[in-house]
Amino acid sequence: GYLVRLNSQGEPVGRIDHDSLRRPTGLARDPVSGELYVADSGSHDIKVFTALGELARTIGRRGIEEGQFNGPTHLSFANDRLYVSDTLNSRVQVLSPAGEPVSTIGRRGLYVGDLVRPKGVMADRDGHIYVIESYYDHLLIFNESNELLLPIGGTGREAGKFFLPAGAWTDNGSRLFVADMFNGRVVVLDYLGGAQ
């Protein structure tokens, strides 16, 4: 696998083509160091590249312990933390920029709020953590203590519902964006909490 770098017009301007990349699925950039974090689902790890595209280090390996992964997919960097959807381990791991485990969000289970197939993950400036639970078609909102605050969604095509959602992103202002994959749309949600 490889990564393609695009300019603001969407034209290719370079690529990262490293032998160790098996199935890159998620990307996040550390705004402080400029390093690029890549979730490699095929290798069950996170690869970190310099701004020049050189492999700096690899975080984790296949396993179930903290700091180990099983099919990691989506990544997000916020508030000096790396959020990793450790999809096949049914959790989100929170790491330091160096890759040290900080905490874990979620558990495998049968109820709304449990994580069976977490995909998109992001955090906002107020410390809220948003997780796409694609199996149950929900956007789950957790606080900075990793406690579930609110589930949004459920299976459906009408407004406020999702059908196999995948990605999520926040503009760190007042909007949340959810890639509602099988409904073929991007859902935009207004954030009404906190000081604006």
Digit-coded pLDDT (tens) for 48-73: 999 888 999 999 999 999 999 999 99
Question: What does the pLDDT look like over 68-115, one tens digit per residue?
Answer: 999 999 999 998 999 999 999 999 999 999 999 999 999 898 888 999
Q: 148-169: buried (b, 16+ CB within 10 Å) or exposed (e) per residue?
A: beeebbeeeeeeebbbbbbbbe
pLDDT surpasses 90 at 178: yes
The CA distance from 84 to 27, in Å, is: 10
- pLDDT of residue 12 exceeding 90, the answer is no
Whether pLDDT at 196 is above 50: no
Q: What is the pTM of this model?
A: 0.90
Confidence of residue 180 (pLDDT cuts 50, 70, 90): very high
Give the CA dihedral 17, 20, 23, 26, nearest 10 degrees.
-80
Give the list of residues 6+ apart from residue 32 with CB closer than 8 angstroms, or none. Answer: 80, 97
Q: How far is CA 98 from CA 18, 44, 53, 81, 135, in A?
A: 21, 17, 18, 9, 30
Per-residue pLDDT at 191: 77
Per-residue pLDDT, 194: 54
**pLDDT above 90 for 193:** no
Q: What is the rounded average pLDDT for all residues in the chain? A: 91
Banded model confidence at residue 17, pLDDT cuts 50, 70, 90? confident
Q: Is the pLDDT of residue 189 over 70?
A: yes
Give the pLDDT of residue 195: 46
Round to whole Å and give the CA distance between 38 and 5: 13
- The torsion angles phi and psi of 183, rounded to 5 degrees, stand at -85, -5
The encoded tokens of residue 111 equal: 């109820």
